[in-house]
Amino acid sequence: MGSMHEAGSRPAAGADMDTDRVHPEAVSDNERDFEKQDSKPEYQDAFGDEEYAEVKYKTLSWWQCGFLMVAETVSLGILSLPAVVAALGLVPAIILLVALGLMSTYTGYTIGQFKWAYPHIHSMGDAGEVIMGRFGRELFGTGQLLLVVFIMASHILTFTVAMNSITDHGTCSIVFGVVGLVISFVLCLPRTLAKVSFLSVASFISVFSAVLIIMIAVGVQRPWHGGLNATVDTNLYKAFLAVCNIVFSFSGHVAFFGFMAELRNPRDYPKSLFLLQGIDTCLYIIAAVVIYCYAGDDVTSPALGSASTIVKKVAYGIALPTIIIGGVVNGHVACKYIYVRMWRHSDRMHKRDLVATGSWVLIGLATWIVAWIIAEAIPVFNNLLSLVASLFASWFTYGFSALFWLYLNKGRFFSTPMKTALTILNVVIMGVACCICGLGLYVSGKALHDDPSSASFSVRSPISVSCLLYPLLASARQLPHPRGNLALQREVLVVICTMIWERVLIAPSVTAFRQPGTPDQPTEHLFPLALFVATRDPRSIG
């Protein structure tokens, strides 16, 4: 059982799994009067006492946790870094990699301090509740879920790119996306991180081997014969697009609370953190610099495309485990957040019955389907990375960690010279997060706007996202509670099912029967059901 503490704010989940407050044994009237004077309840960790539980979650050792963190963080971000060096130049890129790596180590340690102070925390939503109450729980929790689902979508998209490269576009990209969806869903079925951790070791071996093959291949083939640039004359747009990819490479912090919650001893967390930061910072710098030095300005993103065709196929094949498993780890985090929040006030998540197992399976299936839809809607690797990094990762990796430290040290900011220095440091980190978020949203939004392949659901991607947003906003605005809530859920479900139907069945048929050489044409007229659902009067629902 985890350690206990007193908290004046409203964290969640007590040890008896029925209520947030730990119930004492029968006491006298005098003792009850004394209890009323002390209004601060005590809280325990999210999973409570697991001595007699059928499913035990707190089983991770520090090295298993460390490799989970490596699989979650390293698997996807490293693929964009050689192109970052080409965009920024050697010196600025190395400085940024080292600086952001050190900053990520510090903010990761701050997350550990916050977890030790509030052992009940399982997710960013719980941390937000400590700081800002119920509003903070919804804000931080929703942000965490959105970020992780976007990362899952990135892994599905990268799997599609890899399979297209290996098979020379042997079949429709949608088919590869569905295959990635199914594989990821199946591997995400275990409920405990300890079982997923063994996959993370394979993920690390996979990404290390793939990058090593690429470094050797470009070193032998030397595809670039020009000079290397210590610095590059660039503009704000291109430079910050590259910076967003570096930020994304260190953006594993969103899952750290969940990893700590399943450690046998949460005090071992720093060992896991230092294992992660040592591996990712060194691997990022070595891979990015070596590949850039031999591939030069022609380096591609993902980096596995920088070698010859045969080597690229081999490297993509070896990288498939890390592409899949990295998404699985993030998918497990997303599913566990929903699962714990659903069953936290009962002992259901410790059981193996139909309800407990069935709900876990359904949560996983729904989450991966949503990730697949996102992957199909924004099929631009670099721009998707930048959008996610600027909107979410900047805060979960840097900004919120600084907020946690400031909250823990409230009233003692300038009590000692060390506290003063740390206060200044965390304020600077908060400013860095604001800068990354603001400028990152600008450059990634501009990139998506300017790139013709990012148009959501044309013949390659036929349905506008507004088909989903319009009924959501209109129904929420015009329909009363609770009838509006039920109608809203049905409305969104119909639109999503329609998008999947038209994307999977109709759009490929249009593409297949189009005459050779005919340019892509808008095909919204082929989708009357989606347009009808999106534009009809919401008051007629239900």
> pLDDT digit string (tens) for 388-414?
767 788 899 999 999 999 999 998 999
**What is the full DSSP assignment across 110-136?**
HHHHHHHHSTT--SHHHHHHHHHHHHH
Of residues 96 and 503, the one with the higher pLDDT is 96
Are both 435 and 485 inside the same structural domain?
Answer: no
- Look-up of token digits 């999503």: 496
Give 114's contacts (C-beta < 8 A, 6+ positions apart). Answer: 121, 127, 130, 404, 405, 407, 408
- Which pair of tokens denotes residue 427? 């304020």
CATH number at residue 336: 1.20.1740.10
Are both 314 and 257 inside the same structural domain?
Answer: yes
pLDDT of residue 279: 93
Is residue 345, in this structure, part of any structural domain at all? yes
The domain total for the chain is 2
Nearest Cα to 87, choosing from 241, 303, 282?
Answer: 241
Instruction: Please say which residue of 421, 453, 485 terminates a domain.
Output: 453
Alpha-carbon distances, residue 342 vs 10, 102, 254, 348, 409 (angstroms): 18, 36, 20, 9, 32
Are both 312 and 286 inside the same structural domain?
Answer: yes
pLDDT digits (tens, 9 = 90+) for 27-66: 444 443 333 333 333 456 678 777 777 888 989 999 999 9
- To 5 degrees, how large is the angle CA 113–CA 413–CA 128? 45
pLDDT of residue 44: 61
**Rounded average pLDDT over 163-168:** 88
pLDDT of residue 228: 78
Of residues 70 and 519, the one with the higher pLDDT is 70
Instruction: Please say which residue of 453, 479, 498 terminates a domain.
Output: 453
pLDDT band at 190 (very low <50, low <70, confident <90, very high): very high
Of residues 234 and 6, the one with the higher pLDDT is 234
Q: What is the extent of the structural domain holding 435?
A: 62-453
**Rounded average pLDDT over 213-237:** 82
Is residue 460, in this structure, part of any structural domain at all? no
Are both 311 and 396 inside the same structural domain?
Answer: yes
**Rounded average pLDDT over 144-169:** 87
Are both 268 and 381 inside the same structural domain?
Answer: yes
Dihedral-angle region of residue 185 (phi above 0 means left; psi in -120 to 50 means alpha; beta otherwise): alpha
Instruction: Check pLDDT > 80 for residue 269.
Output: yes
Is residue 49, in this structure, part of any structural domain at all? no
pLDDT band at 262 (very low <50, low <70, confident <90, very high): very high
Are both 292 and 395 inside the same structural domain?
Answer: yes
Is residue 8, in this structure, part of any structural domain at all? no
Nearest Cα to 531, choosing from 430, 480, 463, 455?
Answer: 463
| Span of 73-77, 212-216, 265-269, 289-293 with lowest mean pLDDT | 73-77
Is residue 48, in this structure, part of any structural domain at all? no
User: What is the C-alpha separation between 416 and 339, in angstroms, rounded?
Assistant: 43
Percent of the chain with pLDDT over 70: 72
Are both 442 and 490 inside the same structural domain?
Answer: no
Instruction: Check pLDDT > 80 for residue 233.
Output: yes
pLDDT of residue 109: 96
Instruction: Please say which residue of 397, 418, 453 terminates a domain.
Output: 453
Is residue 371, in this structure, part of any structural domain at all? yes
**Rounded average pLDDT over 324-328:** 93
**Rounded average pLDDT over 422-446:** 91
Are both 106 and 68 inside the same structural domain?
Answer: yes
Instruction: Check pLDDT > 50 for residue 532.
Output: no
- Look-up of token digits 């840097």: 398
| Span of 275-279, 396-400, 442-446 with lowest mean pLDDT | 442-446
Are both 393 and 293 inside the same structural domain?
Answer: yes
Are both 389 and 259 inside the same structural domain?
Answer: yes
Percent of the chain with pLDDT over 90: 41
Highest-confidence range of 346-350, 461-465, 525-529, by mean pLDDT?
A: 346-350
Are both 179 and 260 inside the same structural domain?
Answer: yes
| Span of 100-109, 166-175, 190-199, 269-278 with lowest mean pLDDT | 166-175
Is residue 52, in this structure, part of any structural domain at all? no
Is residue 69, in this structure, part of any structural domain at all? yes
Q: What DSSP element (H or E) covers 76?
A: helix 62-77
Are both 237 and 350 inside the same structural domain?
Answer: yes
pLDDT of residue 530: 34
**Rounded average pLDDT over 124-137:** 93
DSSP 43: E
Torsion angle, alpha carbons of 461, 463, 466, 471, to 10:
-140
Nearest Cα to 289, choosing from 135, 39, 93?
Answer: 93
